[in-house]
Amino acid sequence: MFVRILFLLLLALNIGAASWWFFAAKREPAAPPATDPGVPELQLLAERDAANEHTELDSVPESEADLANDVCRTLGPLSTQADARAVANALRPLVKRSRMRETIQTQTRGYWVYLAAAANREAALANARALADKNVRDYYVITAGDQQNMVSLGLFRDQGNAERRRAELAALGFAPKIDLRSENLPLYWIDFALSGENLPADFAARVPIPSGANVEATGCF
């Protein structure tokens, strides 16, 4: 009899416990913080754009008519990026908008007088000995690179001097050639837009314009 009562009591306790677990409201565990304390929360671009849809603009956008009335100028050429940045920073508060652009200029380095490449090193040295026999001292045999086995006879800034050098050597029985030596150099320009034809009154005082640079009219952007 006692065993039966104990069995029924345990059965009732188990049924009650099971019912409590089944019907009790389940609590959601607390979510951990998205970021560490003091660190700003990341925001998706879509979320940011949605939040900014109703943000008031700082200024009224310009109409097409306003843009059509703009007058644009370009300042340059500027030979270094440092000069271009200094001019751009000084211009920014004085004009409606500005931009920097870069162009490439081919600059002459000089005129090179030389004897064409010989078939091999021995032939190049023979050319050098022939020059020495004619009392020509200013030459150099190139021993490596794309100009290997050529004989350099001088680099001249002035074309007339290069032509005279070639004529002197031709008179001695040689066949020198002349090549124009050049390199590509970047040049920088600052384009800017104004509301009217005239530059700001303090333009010259506030904008550092390097020697050789000028302000000229250009198309608007």
pLDDT truncated to tens, each residue of the chain (221 aa)? 666 676 666 767 777 666 666 666 555 555 666 666 655 666 665 555 554 444 343 344 566 666 778 999 999 999 999 999 999 999 999 999 999 999 999 988 899 999 999 999 999 999 999 999 999 989 999 999 999 999 999 999 999 999 999 999 999 999 999 999 988 999 999 999 998 888 888 898 999 999 999 999 999 98
Q: Which pLDDT value is given to residue 216?
A: 95
Task: State the maximum Cα–Cα separation within the chain, in Å, rounded to a whole number.
Answer: 142
Domain contains 198: yes
To 10 degrees, the CA torsion angle through 124, 129, 135, 136? 10
What's residue 6's pLDDT? 67
Judge whether 136 lies within some domain. Answer: yes
pLDDT for the residue numbered 54: 42
- Same domain? 118 vs 83: no
Domain with residue 150: its CATH number is 3.30.70.1070
Residue 21: what pLDDT? 65
Q: What is the pLDDT of residue 56?
A: 43
199 in a structural domain: yes
Statement to judge: residues 206 and 102 lie in one domain: yes
User: Is residue 115 located within the same domain as residue 178?
Assistant: yes
Is residue 167 within 8 Å of residue 173, measured between CB atoms?
A: no
161, part of any domain: yes
Q: Are residues 166 and 71 in the same domain?
A: no
What pLDDT was estimated at residue 195?
Answer: 87
Q: What is the pLDDT of residue 127?
A: 96
Residues 193 and 159 in one domain: no
**For residues 185 and 108, what is the distance between their CA atoms, to the nearest angstrom?**
10
Q: Could you tell me if residue 205 is inside a domain?
A: yes
Q: What is the CATH number of the domain that holds 208?
A: 3.30.70
Q: Are residues 81 and 118 in the same domain?
A: no
pLDDT at residue 108 in the model: 86
146 with 164, same domain: the answer is yes
Would you say 217 and 187 are in contact if contact means Cβ atoms under 8 Å apart? no
Query: Is residue 33 in some structural domain?
Result: no
pLDDT, position 39: 59
Is the domain of 160 the same as that of 114?
Answer: yes
Torsion of CA 202, 207, 209, 213, to 10 degrees: -80
Question: Within this chain, do residues 202 and 170 fall inside the same structural domain, yes or no?
Answer: no
In-domain check, residue 145 = yes
Q: Residue 162: give the domain boundaries.
A: 108-182
pLDDT at position 62: 64
Residue 14 lies in a domain: no
How many structural domains comprise the chain? 2
User: Domain check: are 73 and 178 in the same one?
Assistant: no
